[in-house]
Amino acid sequence: MPSELSYQKMLQECLRGELRIVNAGLPRSQKPLSALLQEEYPHVQCNDSSTHFFKRKELEYLATMISSDEQEALLLPMLIELGENQAEVAIICQTEVEEELISRILNMSVTAKQGRITIYKPQLALLRKMLKTTTQYLFSPKIVA
């Protein structure tokens, strides 16, 4: 009889294929905030050939909070990873700039661990309210710790 762990691994493999479809709308690549501010219609191309547009108001809001060097380092959209834990999410953090921005926006100290900033649903709601187009969800297949 298969163990619970092997069953969970089988489910994880099935989910991996399904989530590839769900994540098809993710950007092919991210762009620096500084470059997006220079574009007439700030956007990135997505894996499904669609175009993700950014609201200029959001880009300008982010630009007011960080230096020009940090604007070069900040890649958008910021990715919010949804996974096995329903109570919390992780913001993928490639530089310290994301950490600084999230701390300022949420008005609380956050720390990146293993390239991720963990926040809870109430903080996610506030973050998405302020940064609807400069953040994007990434669905993770992790169901086994």
Q: What is the pLDDT of residues 37-70, one digit of tens each?
A: 999 999 999 999 999 999 999 999 999 999 999 9
State mean pLDDT over 85-96.
90
Report CA torsion sign: 101, 126, 78, 94.
positive
Rounded to the nearest angstrom, the gap between the alpha carbon of residue 130 and the centroid of all alpha carbons in its chain is 14
Give the global pTM.
0.85
What's the pLDDT band for 145 if we cut at 50, 70, 90? very low
Q: Is 25 helix (H, G, I), strand (E, B) or coil?
A: helix
pLDDT mean across residues, the chain: 91
Tokens 């709308």 belong to 25
Percent over 70 (pLDDT), the chain: 94
Examine the pLDDT at 95 and tell me if it is beyond 90. yes
Percent of the chain topping pLDDT 90: 74
Better-scored residue on pLDDT, 84 or 49: 49
Cβ-contact 31, 56 below 8 angstroms: no
pLDDT at 79 > cutoff 80: yes
Domain ranges across the chain: 4-139
